[in-house]
Structures are given as C-alpha cells and as structure tokens.
C-alpha cells in the first residue's frame, strides 16, 4: 500500500489523535506529540505543508511498532482504504 503524497504535519497530528496523541510541545517548525496509551510514546512531526515520504514512513513505523500493528494496518487506520 502506497503512502499518500500530500499529507501535512498538521493533518498527520490530527489523524494521530485516534491513538491518543496530543501536541505537547511546539518549537519552531516541529511538533512533539505524546500518547499515554500502552505506555508513554513520543513522536516529532515537522509542521510542513507536505511531509516527505521517508519522514511519514518513519513516523508511521514508530507509531505502528508502539501499538503492535503492521505498517499496512497503520496506513489503513490513518488514511482509509487503499
């Protein structure tokens, strides 16, 4: 399943709320999101208009690993049908 190419940092932060992530800090052009579900976990997201595919992949992989999901399951939950 391909990752979307037009996801902004704000959009990703909004979509990660379903996993309990909230913005806990914002410095310059980066946001730090934290969840307490299944233990504390942090991710840093650039607040850019379009995230690079590698950056999006790394963030999703980190979140998927924390929640015990595959990257494909994470992609479906965040962005819907392929």
pLDDT for 56 equals: 93
pLDDT for 2 equals: 80
End-to-end CA gap in the chain:
6
> Which domains, from first to last, does the chain contain?
9-76 (3.30.920.30)
Question: Alpha-carbon distance 30 to 34, whole Å?
Answer: 13
Bridge partners for 27 per DSSP: 30
Whether the predicted model's global pTM rises above the 0.75 cut: yes
pLDDT, tens digit, for every residue of 11-57? Answer: 999 999 999 999 999 999 999 999 999 999 999 999 999 999 999 99
């Amino acid at each position: 399943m391909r990752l979307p190419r037009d996801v902004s940092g704000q959009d990703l932060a909004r979509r990660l709320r379903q996993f309990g992530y909230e913005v806990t800090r914002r410095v310059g052009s980066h946001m730090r999101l934290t969840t307490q579900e299944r233990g504390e976990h942090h991710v840093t997201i650039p607040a850019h208009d379009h995230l690079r595919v590698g950056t999006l992949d790394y963030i999703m992989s980190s979140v998927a690993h924390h929640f015990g999901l595959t990257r494909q399951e994470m992609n479906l939950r965040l962005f819907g049908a392929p």
